[in-house]
Every structure is written in C-alpha cells, then in structure tokens.
C-alpha cells in the first residue's frame, strides 16, 4: 500500500494524488488524440495489431524508423483487450505515469523524511507536464517511469543487496531502452557515478554483478534487435531519411541519440542550450519557483560543506538532472518534452525546497516572498484559463459554472475534513493546476480538436455512412487521425482521373482546379487547423477564418 491510511498527512497527500489521476483519466476520455505524435503512435499501434507485425514497425504502410517498439507493443496489447480506441491507447502510459509517481515516492523515501517523499510524489503528480503527457502522449511518459523505477530499484539494491532489486533495475533499463533508446541507460549512469565519486566509494563503480545486469539488458533487447535487423540491415536498398544503406541497429543505438550531438543526425531544431529550461518553466507549473530556489539551495549547501556529504545523503538527483540536461541541451534537435525523463529528479529538488521553506519555515522572509509571487502567478494562470474558456469558442457558461462549483465543493470539503493539513499556498497551487486542467480537458481541448481535419472527416464519413473503400485522399499526407478514428488505412492518390463514378475524394481547396469542378460534385467543405501550431489568430474568433485551412469532400460524377 502506498500510504498508511491511519495517518492524516498520508491521507491528504493520497487524496490530492488521486485527484490528479482522476483528471488524467478524464482527459483520456474527453480529449481526442492530437496530431502529430500522439495520434501517429496510436495509428502505428493499430497497424501493428491488425497486421500482426510486432517486430517490424510501419507507419501508414511505410517503414518506420524513429521510436523503439515498447510504446507500440503495450498500446497494441491494450487495444487487443479493450478495442481500437484512444482510451485503450492511453491506458498503458497512464499506468506508467502512476508507476513513476510511486517509484519517485519510494526512491525519495530511501534518503529523505517521509513528508519529503510524499511531497515529491505529489509535486510530480500535479506538475503541468504530467497532465499534458497523459492525454497528449509521448514516449517520454513511459520512459520517465522506466528510468525512475530503475533508479529506485538500483538504490534499493545498494541498501539491501537483494538480487531481485538489481534484476528489476536492469529490466527497467532494458524496457526504457526499448521505449526511447540509450538515454534510459545513460540517465542512471549520469546519476550514480557522481554519487559514488562524491562518497569516495570507488568499489561501487566496478562490481561483477553489473555483468549480470548487462546480460539481462542484452537478452531483453533481442526481439527489438531482430526486428531492426530484418527490417533495415537486411535491406540496405531501402531509402530512409533520403539515403540508402541505413542500419536500424546503428540508428537506435547511436544516430538517434548520440548522433544529435555529433551532427550525424539529419534533424536540427531548437538547438540552443536553454530551450529545455525555458519549456520546463511552464511545464513544471505550479512548482517552478520552488525548483529554481531548491537548485540554488543545493549548490549553496554543497559549496558550504566543501563538496562533502554524509554517508546517508544522496548525490543522485542533482547530477542526474544536470548532466542529463547538459547532454540534451547540446543536442542539435530538442523538443520540450525531452527533459521529462528526469522530471522525478526535478520534483525531488522542489519537494526539498517546499519542505524547508513552507513546512519547516527556515526562512520566513523568503517564504513570504515566494507566497506573494506564487499567488500572483496562480491568479494569472486562472485569468488566462477564464479567457481561454470564454473567448475562443463561446463555451456554455452554465455548464462551466456547474462543473467548477462541483469541483470547488469536493476540493474545499476535503480540506475541511482533513483540517487543512497542507499550507494554504500549497492548497492554492493544487487548486489552480487541478481546476485549470480539469476545465481544459472537459471544455477547451475537445472544442479545439473539432478543427483537427481527421476528426472532422471521420465524423462526416460515419454520419453519412460512406463506404471507406470508396474514399480517397488527394495529395494529403500524414493525416493519421483520419486513419485511426476511422480504423481504416485510406489510400492517397495523385491522379484523380483514376477514380470511379461515385467515389469520394478529400482535397485541399488550394488544389481544386477547373477540371475538378467539371468532373466532381462538391459534397462538403471542412475547415481545419493544425492544432500543434496554436496561435492568436486562430484563438480570436474575429480572425479565425484567416488562420484556417479549407478542404472539400468531392464525389466523382
């Protein structure tokens, strides 16, 4: 059991963590999958299940060489059990998010007071990043869980020398590598090597037991390696990333990770050092300020103690975060969620800061300043929330008000029952992040996703009972939401004359010529927007038309 049910403090933390998980689940039910990543991964999982191709991976029928197969395996299994739908796709990752919260708690308990461990788990559960990556799924959701599970189990082995912990640690590393490559191995190395060095425990750098762990990893990676070898290494004639001779094994074990640093990778985007930190500032709300202060405090304490730690103190989370950040920060290709692999470390740093500043009250002036700054910040977040709910889509005020009233009643009644165990600033932080994501999940995102092309077209096909075999796409590539929600792989054509009478064609209005108007009837016009490029022009109802793309469903005469 996670917490002692007889303890008021444990009950309070558990209650808020459960509230966070409830919001995750609501998001998985109400928010459709978003282009590009989430719905791409879902559609790959769907194809894997239907084609029973579990070692060789395909994306809309084409060879796929980007992410390892673990996310697709687990999602395909979930779809096999619960059917092909977005909830089934999300279930494994939501379970892994819960595992990450639990593992963070257990790891922190090994080195710190129980309240710090509870805080670390709660901070992780309630960080904005977790609300996002449990409905807009990334491979990083699962990667984060495997990494912190492995770190917890390896730490437990250091204390107990139990073989089961060591085995579980290396199994978690292997599964992490099958989720997103070598970074699942590098993060534990970045974390534990500095820990051993600062404690002058050099014997732990070289233990024969590690050879058993390496063997476990190599054995577990065999299925993935076989698939990569069969799909790519045996077929050097395949064109991948505009060149032939691509080795799938080399790609996953080198190019995809280290190649982004050496320049071997063809991908280049957001390649400046502070990109990830800029995104962590909003991704770690409402706890960002505590993390920054905690990071400064950690270094101040270390310098004050002349880089010396007590035998029971850990030097895992700080170097684990900093070295990983540095490795990612010098990469030529970065996306905001890449840093989430070490989000549990960020939460531990923030939890220690919260505990010292808010719970223990070590520095009342700093605590009061933080309280004022956070109160202003949280109020600003709530104002932005109101603007998003009221202006862009003219949502129903009554429904929003009723939902908010019900949530407020549950929130404040629980606080009354628990006799306000948590300080008010923490309650305000939790209320802000929970109500923001609840209302976004229930009202904003579903309305936003109505403008995703694949969703709109799928709805039209189902409503009008169109035979999907007679429906084609004209030079429209990468619309995986249409394939996934229709549970059908639509054919993309470049010659509309090849269609038969009464066949349907989806086409961008920019490509419609006189010939199309002569040979086709316009059945429906659909307005769409690339959700991942959300901007002010789209959010403003008066300028939205200028930001939209328009498509038509035509029928051959």
Q: Comparing 235-244, 488-497, 541-550, which segment has the lowest mean pLDDT? A: 235-244
Phi-psi region of 419 (alpha: psi -120 to 50; beta: other; left: phi over 0): left
Q: Per DSSP, what are the bridge partners of residue 240?
A: 243
- Per-residue pLDDT, averaged over 298-325, amounts to 87
- The closest alpha carbon to 347, from 268, 284, 410, 412, belongs to 284
156-187, pLDDT tens digit by residue?
A: 999 999 999 999 999 999 999 999 999 999 99
- H helix or E strand, kind and range, residue 63: strand 62-63
- Per-residue pLDDT, averaged over 69-87, amounts to 95
Q: Place 419 in a pLDDT band, splitting at 50, 70 and 90.
A: low
Q: Place 326 in a pLDDT band, splitting at 50, 70 and 90.
A: very high
363-387, pLDDT tens digit by residue?
A: 677 777 888 888 888 888 888 888 8
Q: Place 268 in a pLDDT band, splitting at 50, 70 and 90.
A: low
Higher pLDDT, 139 or 266: 139
For residue 5, pLDDT over 60 is answered with no
Q: Comparing 42-56, 107-121, 282-296, 510-524, which segment has the lowest mean pLDDT? A: 510-524
Q: How far apart are CA 256 and CA 500, in angstroms?
A: 44
Structure tokens at 388: 């998003």
Pairing of strands 504-508, 491-493: unpaired
Instruction: Determine the pLDDT at residue 557.
Output: 84
- For residue 35, the SS3 value is coil
Instruction: Determine the pLDDT at residue 381.
Output: 86
Mean pLDDT of the chain: 89
DSSP class of residue 251 equals I
Q: Per DSSP, what are the bridge partners of residue 138?
A: none
Q: How far apart are CA 150 and CA 311, in angstroms?
A: 22
Higher pLDDT, 1 or 314: 314
223-237, pLDDT tens digit by residue?
A: 999 999 999 999 988
Instruction: Determine the pLDDT at residue 505.
Output: 93
Q: Place 533 in a pLDDT band, splitting at 50, 70 and 90.
A: confident
Higher pLDDT, 156 or 312: 156
Higher pLDDT, 98 or 256: 98
Contacts made by residues 170-174, CB under 8 angstroms, sequence distance 24+: 170/212, 170/213, 170/214, 170/216, 170/217, 171/216, 171/220, 172/146, 172/147, 173/146, 173/147, 173/213, 173/217, 174/216, 174/217, 174/220, 174/221
Q: How far apart are CA 103 and CA 168, in angstroms?
A: 12
Instruction: Determine the pLDDT at residue 7.
Output: 60
Which of the listed ranges 86-90, 301-305, 375-379 does the model predict with the highest average pLDDT? 86-90
Instruction: Determine the pLDDT at residue 161.
Output: 93
CB 128, CB 284: distance < 8 Å: yes
Higher pLDDT, 223 or 401: 223
Share of the chain above pLDDT 70, in %: 94
CB neighbours of residue 90 within 10 Å: 27
Q: How far apart are CA 469 and CA 55, in angstroms?
A: 28
Instruction: Determine the pLDDT at residue 265.
Output: 64
Angle at 200 between CA 144 and CA 191, to 5 degrees: 10
Task: Decide: residue 527, CB within 10 A, 0-12 exposed, 13-18 middle, 19+ buried.
Answer: middle
- The closest alpha carbon to 180, from 138, 137, 235, 241, belongs to 138
Instruction: Determine the pLDDT at residue 3.
Output: 39
Q: Per DSSP, what are the bridge partners of residue 333?
A: 269
């Amino acid at each position: 059991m996670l917490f002692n049910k007889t303890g008021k403090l444990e009950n309070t933390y558990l209650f808020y963590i459960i509230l966070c998980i409830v919001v995750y689940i609501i998001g998985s039910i109400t928010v459709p999958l978003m282009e590009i990543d989430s719905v791409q991964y879902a559609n790959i999982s769907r194809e894997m299940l239907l084609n029973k191709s579990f070692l060789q991976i395909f994306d809309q029928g084409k060879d796929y060489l980007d992410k390892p197969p673990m996310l697709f395996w687990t999602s395909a299994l979930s779809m096999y059990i619960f059917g092909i739908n977005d909830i089934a796709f999300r279930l494994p990752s939501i379970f892994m998010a819960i595992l990450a919260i639990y593992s963070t708690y257990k790891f922190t308990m090994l080195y710190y007071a129980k309240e710090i461990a509870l805080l670390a788990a709660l901070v992780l559960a309630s960080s904005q990043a977790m609300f996002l990556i449990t409905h807009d799924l990334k491979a990083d959701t699962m990667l984060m869980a495997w990494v912190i599970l492995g770190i917890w189990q390896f730490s437990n082995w250091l204390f107990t020398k139990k073989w089961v912990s060591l085995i579980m640690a290396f199994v978690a590393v292997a599964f992490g590598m099958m989720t997103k490559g070598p970074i699942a191995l590098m993060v534990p190395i970045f974390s534990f090597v500095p820990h051993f060095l600062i404690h002058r425990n050099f014997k732990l750098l070289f233990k024969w037991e590690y050879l058993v762990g390496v063997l476990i990893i190599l054995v577990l990676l065999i299925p993935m390696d076989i698939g990569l070898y069969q799909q790519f290494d045996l077929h050097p004639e395949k064109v991948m990333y505009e060149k032939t001779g691509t080795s799938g094994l080399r790609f996953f074990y080198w190019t995809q990770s280290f190649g982004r640093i050496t320049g071997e990778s063809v991908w280049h985007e957001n390649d400046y050092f502070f990109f990830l930190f800029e995104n962590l500032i909003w991704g770690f709300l409402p706890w960002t300020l505590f993390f920054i202060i905690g990071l400064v405090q950690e270094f101040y304490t270390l310098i004050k103690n002349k880089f010396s730690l007590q035998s029971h103190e850990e030097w895992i989370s700080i170097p684990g975060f900093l070295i990983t950040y540095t490795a990612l920060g010098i990469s030529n290709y970065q996306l905001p969620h890449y840093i989430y692999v070490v989000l549990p470390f960020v939460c531990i740093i923030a939890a220690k800061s919260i505990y010292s500043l808010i719970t223990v009250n070590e520095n009342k002036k700093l605590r009061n300043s933080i309280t004022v700054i956070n109160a202003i910040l949280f109020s600003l977040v709530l104002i932005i929330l109101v603007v998003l709910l009221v202006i862009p889509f003219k949502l129903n005020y009554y429904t929003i008000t009723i939902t908010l009233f019900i949530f407020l009643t549950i929130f404040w009644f629980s606080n009354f029952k628990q006799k306000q165990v948590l300080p008010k600033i923490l309650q305000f932080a939790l209320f802000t992040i929970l109500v923001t994501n609840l209302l976004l999940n229930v009202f904003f995102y579903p309305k936003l996703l109505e403008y995703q092309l694949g969703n709109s077209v799928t709805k039209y096909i189902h409503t009008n009972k169109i035979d999907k075999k007679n429906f084609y796409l004209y030079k429209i590539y990468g619309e995986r939401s249409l394939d996934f929600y229709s549970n059908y792989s639509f054919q993309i054509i470049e010659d509309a004359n090849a269609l038969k009478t009464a066949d349907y064609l989806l086409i961008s209005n920019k490509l419609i010529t006189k010939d199309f108007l002569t040979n086709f009837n316009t059945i429906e016009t659909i307005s769409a927007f690339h959700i991942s490029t959300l901007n002010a022009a789209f959010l403003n109802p008066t300028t939205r038309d200028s930001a939209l793309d328009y498509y038509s469903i035509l029928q051959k005469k």
